[in-house]
Amino acid sequence: MCVVESTAPYLYDTPPESIKRFRRQIRMIDLLNEGDAKLVQDAVWSCYQEEPTRFKEYELFDPGAFRAEPICATITWKVRQPWYAPRNTQEQAALDRAHALMEEIRRKTAQKRDPSSAGTEDDTRSLER
C-alpha cells in the first residue's frame, strides 16, 4: 500500500460547480483519526466491489459510471508553497496587490539609482514625497 502525505490537500482554483458535482457522486466515510492503514485499505477495497460489501456501518460498492456529463475544468495554479497559497479570491487579490506594490517599489528604486533610466518627471517627484 502506498501512503502519500500532503501538507495541504487543497485544489485552490477548482470551480465551485465542479466541487458541487463531485460531491453529488461520492459518499463520504469518516476515517479521520483512525490511524490504521489496514482499515483504510479495507475501506478502499470495499468501494470497488461490484456487490454491496459491509464496511463498518456502511454498505459499499462500485455503482459504475455516474450518469451525467464528465467534470471538465481547467486547474491553472501551480502551488509551490501550499502553506503560503491564498485560500480564496480575496486573498489572491490581496497577494496580487502586494506583488504589484513590490514591483512598483523595485522600479522606483531603480529609477532613483539611475535617473537616466526610463521614467517621467512625475515618477521622480513621487519618489521625493
Which three cell numbers mark 38? Answer: 489496514
pTM above 0.75, yes or no: no
Residue 112 near residue 120, CB atoms below 8 Å: no
Q: How far is CA 116 from CA 54, 72, 103, 112, in A?
A: 77, 51, 19, 9
> How confident is the prediction along the chain (129 residues), in pLDDT tens digits per residue?
455 565 556 666 788 888 898 888 888 888 888 878 899 999 999 999 999 999 998 999 998 888 888 888 877 777 777 777 777 889 889 989 999 999 999 999 999 998 776 555 454 444 444
